[in-house]
Structure 1
């Protein structure tokens, strides 16, 4: 079965230096083409690692380097680390390992569905530190049960900043704007 163009799109973006915000011999950081927040970046290794499920303890240094590249982008853009989440999707949809570096505001026209929201605000999002811990303790990353993944995708919409519940994504987005105005998250 051939891989779809969409799922391999990161590889094409990675290979074009015009897309790089920052790079070194280990990896690159690019802007997400469909950002789910005001600031949404992806740190990718130059090494061909298809997903989190192909990681081994020997990749720990590479993961640290991707994290530090991400911190450099935040610093260069004069942003605050505490306003960001760093992690991976538990059910990756794109070919090539990528670390999400995403601001917690989630203000974006590309945030359209419950699945988009839950992929960053439930256990579908594996924080960087937790992934590293699992890799050290277990020697690899295990896939979640399909029923549990589906349950997480269907989790009700709960604000990531105050636990306010909404029924629809448009209502959640309106609510998130109030946090942006009150907290000045940038």
Structure 2
């Protein structure tokens, strides 16, 4: 059997390790989604709906709201991936990005703008932030939520993969473009 050149062998090992790692992350994400979402079925027992609408939650105290409008709220993520990690959630219960149509375009644009304005108020350039949605089944809570994260350099390897623009995470500008092409 012929030996591969050293560079080719190293590249093959890195590629294999990368694919194995990605596979593991996908399996863990699917497991987490199934585990968490089993207890959330609709707006009446959705703790994000509780946060957004100032209702007491059985999951402890509601987070401090950084921004509140008639349509959405923004608050600090309970499990931040970086120094600045916020979630924008609509007050209306919408399960995920997948259920949205073109009529939701304005809401998504306003949530994105609100997230960018919050970053500016924190002296963060919003163009340097990661802003986007996870796509089912890679969601941790069945209530639409827009992530805003900065700086990416604070993120560990798993979080960098988790919030990498891909089939499981859609950056806000791509999400808006997608909604523009959806039917009403």
**TM-score tier after normalising by the smaller chain length:** 0.5 to 0.7
4+ runs deviating over 6 angstroms: none
1:80 partnered with 2:80: no
Q: Which runs of 5+ in 2 are unaligned?
A: 1-36, 55-61
Q: Distance in 2 between matches of 1:122 and 1:80?
A: 19
Task: Return the TM-score normalized by structure 1.
Answer: 0.63
Residues 23, 119 of structure 1: alpha-carbon distance in 2 compared, 3 angstrom cutoff = same
Gaps of 5+ in 1: 141-186
Higher helix fraction: Structure 1 or Structure 2?
2
Q: Give the 3-state SS of the residue equivalent to 2:98 in structure 1.
A: helix
TM-score (norm 2): 0.64
The Cα of 1:8 is off from its aligned counterpart by 4.1
Higher-Rg structure is 2
2:160 aligned to which of 81, 103, 117: 117
- Give the CA RMSD over aligned residues: 2.6
Contact 1:87 1:125 in 2 (8 A): yes
- Could you give the per-residue CA deviations for residues 25-67 of structure 1, whole angstroms, max 9, x where no partner exists? 0111010000001110011111111111110100011111111
46-55 or 15-24, which deviates more: 15-24
1:48 to 2:83 alignment: no
Paired residue for 1:94?
Answer: 141
1:88 and 1:121 map into 2 onto residues whose CA distance is 11
